[in-house]
Structure formats: structure tokens, C-alpha cells
Structure 1
Amino acid sequence: MLFVIALALASLMLFALRGGFSRLPAHALQGTGHSHDDEGYGTRSTPHLPSLVLAGAATLVTGGVFGVGIGVSMLVAMALHELGHIAGARVADLMLARADRLNPPGIPLARRRSDTRAFFVIFCGPALGLAPMLVAYGAAELLWQAHPPAAATLWTFAGVTGTFNAFFLLPFYPLDGGRCIALMARAIAPELSRLAALALAAVLGLMAVHLGSTTLAVLAAFGIFGAVLQGPPVESATAPMRLGTVALAQVAYLAALLCYLSGGAWLILDLLG
């Protein structure tokens, strides 16, 4: 049953982002990356060497510490994450182009930068891994009796994908979650994003002391560092999100975070132990 639901979700996600994959093969030949700056979160067709170096280093370290299976799964999870940002940016650009054709000549209002577009592009990165994670868990369930090694591989990939994206959805700057929270908070009270990060960092710090967990202590320190790095809210030229959009974005963010925490729970608990 899980496998069928996961396939339906994957089909729906591919349909929703179909415009983001239409030119991918041509761009993939040149190397594709995405920009996390505040100028529009666009794509580019030049090799993004920092991302490639980071992916390679993370794979080697993870594989050396936790084994080849988890290392390869981490690499695939990172690739899906980057692909999500790329597809999201292209879909957003297509939507802007279509809207521009409906505007009177000389008034390209849709080209105005907006927090809604930025949230969509940022959120698509971690969101794209949700369907593959569920498909992997569903397939592992079906194969557990017939082919245990394949089932174990799929199970490992699903757990790594859940853990990887749950980390990136934490409300800590400059992670995707921290940027999403900042964009949502700007429509209500900009300082809320830093307060949320500091509050979670404090909770993680207390848990680290109580449980004696080095991992939780590192996460707490990362959250505090991110809040300091983010700095106080500044005036932005982008159009803020509407309150209705903020509510929808909050539901999507929390749902994705809870799904990934559930999907990666067994690996997260192992890392915290």
C-alpha cells in the first residue's frame, strides 16, 4: 500500500515540476547549479565547483565513517536536493514568463522579485526527496522477503534521504529551513526567524546536556552561529508573502519536516546515541 501511495505522490510531483525537467539533459552536459543569493535564486549552466567539491568530500567522509552504502545514499540524496532547487527555479521562471505575456507591453510586473518565488525555489530542494524516500521504503517492504540485500539498500537510502533533508529543513540559517522561516517571518515579524532558531538551539542544548549527546551539542552550536550570522532583519526590495501564502507555506514546511523526521528516525536516533 505504501509503495502505491509513494508512486502516486512521485507521479504528482513529477507532473507539478515537469517544466523544471524539460531541458535538464542539455544543461546537465555543461553542469548545472543553483544560486542561493537573494537576487532571484536562479539556475546557471556552468559547473558549480563548490557544490561538486562539497558533495565529493561529504560522500568520502560519510562513506569512511558509516560505510559505502550510507555514503552512496548521501550522494544520491544531495543530487536530488540540488535537482529540486534547479527544477523549482525553472518552474518559477516559466510561470513568470507566462504571466509577463499577459501584461501590457512595457510593464513586466511579474519580473518583480518576490519572497513567494524565493520560498518556492528554496523549498523545492528538500521537498523533491520526499517521493523517492517513500518509494524506497515501499519497495523495501515488498522486497524484504524475496531479496533482502536489495531491500536493505533501499531502506538505507530512504533513511539517509530522510535524515539529510530533515537536517536541511531545520530553522537554522543558512540552511534551507532557516531561509524559508525567514521569508515567512518577514510577512509577520521579521525577528521571529532568529528567535525561533535561538529557541530551538536552547532546547537542543539542554537535551545535549541531559543526554550527553555530542551531536545535539553540535546542532545547538550551529543554530546559535546561524542566528549570529543571519544578523538582524534588513529592509528588502522583494515583495513579501501574503498572509494566506504564509499559512500554506507553513503547512508545507511542517509537513515536509515531520515526514523527513519520521522517515529518518531510525538513523537519527542511531546518530544521537
Structure 2
Amino acid sequence: MIVHGKGFNFMEFFLQKHMIFQRKIFIGLISIILFAPVLQTDDICALEASFVNEVGMEFILVHPGGYIMGSPVDEPFRSRNEPQHRVEIKKAFYMQATEVTLKQWHSIMPKKSFILRKGADDMPVTRVSYYNCRRFVGKLSRRTNQTYRLPTEEEWEYVCRAGTTTAYSFGDTVDCTKAMFGNNSLKCTDCIEESRSRGLELDKPAPVKSYPPNPWGFYDMHGNVWEWVSDAYHGYLAQDDGVLPGRERSWDTRIKRGGSWFMYGHYCRSANRAWAHPGGKFKTTGFRVVLEVAK
């Protein structure tokens, strides 16, 4: 075959086409690497920083990021099940600014589940099992056509710390002006007096937002009521990549975080972990929810 008076070299033609194809692929990959983070950032920036849903639940946007989960070996009252390890939160999500209140609970669940006494609308719902909480988020998701769920343990501590590395988001010293705790004993006289000065009852949690928020705007991450999270209990000895082993295993206990009005202050530390049977219902335990960001 002759082209323009010259012999046609099929192999040379093929190699030229192949090099052009490879160059296009390379340029495409570079474009993805350069522009994908920008697109992701733009998508997050387009989200509302906070909003209130149709049930009256306030949510705050939580951006992706990394932090050191767990407690240092010299933190007072630390437990051996709090080893420090790096965790990366890779996706943005919304978390409820407060614990789920009785009013919000009754807007989704049957009225007969609790007797709602006058003036109790803003009290956190308690005596709800892990299974009850799962039913609540399931019904809420179906009603709104969005994906609500319990936070993971990593998400919960990330929000609780709110960028801090101290034992509490407000410092290394427990402070009963910053959270409700310690009303279980006459030994905690400062906490009891603080609760009384705020007009709060000593044998139950405070209405949500009775104490200051943490640096990211979330209330009662320390104290008030324990909060169920989605994780089954394990020792979370992290692997090198920060992934916790045993995530999908079936255990008969579930994690609770944050301490409560009934507990001493050190139970309210950001890294503190407690666990209970998922069917248990406790006067000191409630929950808050996460809303997944639509893709």
C-alpha cells in the first residue's frame, strides 16, 4: 500500500496512535487528581451549615477531618480500653445539635410509649433501648425520605472533641458549670448547688441546651444523658490504617458515650466508653442522631 508516494509503515502508525491514546488517559487522570478535591470542597460548601428538620430537630454540618481518638496514658481516670489511634472521618455528615427530646420522640413514635408531662417537651428522652433508637431513626428516615442513623463511635468522639485534645472539650478539668453531672452523691456538692442554682431537678437530666455548647455548637456532649452509638463493643486496638477490627461482628453489648447527670465527672471525658445490653432501658441514657449527606 502506498500513501502520498511513501510506503505505509503499519507498526509506526499503530505506535503513534497508541501514544496519543496514552497521553489522553494521562491528561484525564491529572485532571481528576487536580480537580476532584475542588469539586468535593465546592459540594460541601454548598451545604447548609445548619438547619432544622420537619420534626424540629436541629442539625449542624460536620466536615471531614482527622483526629486522635482515645486518651493519653497520663490522662486521669483513663481506662485501658481507650488506646490512642488516628481516625479519619472521610465524609461530611450532619449531627443533631442536641439529644433527642421527648417532643421529638413523640412526633415519630407512638404516644403510648411515654407519658409526656407538662413542661417536659425539651427534656431528653430516656429509658430507650438501642433497639428503640434504631426503630426511631428507621421511621424518621421513611417519613422524610432521608437517611438518619445513630452516629458511629468515631463520629461521636470527633464531634465531642470539636478539635480539642484535652480530656473535655472545655479543658482538662471537669467543670459543673459546663455540663450536668455528679448529682448521684452528696459528695458532689458543687454540682448539686450548680444544678439548684439553675432551677434544675437533681433526680433527672436537664432540658437540652441548659449548658453551653462545645466549640462546634453541640450541646450536652458531656453529661446530661449517656448516648447510644451504633457500634458493638470491642477493645478497638486499631490497625495501622486506623481501621478498627471487628466492626461487623455481632456482640451482645452496644457502646454508650458522654456520661450523665447521675455519674461522676470523669465518666464524661471525651474518650470515656461505656457499654450495655442493647435491650437495656436506663433513666440515664438517651441518644442523638446523624443525617447522612445526600450524594
TM-score, normalised with respect to structure 1: 0.28
Q: Which has the higher helix share?
A: 1
**Which of the pair has the greater relative contact order for Cα pairs under 8 Å at 6+ separation?**
2
TM-score normalized by the length of structure 2: 0.27
Higher gyration radius (CA): 2
Higher strand share goes to which structure? 2
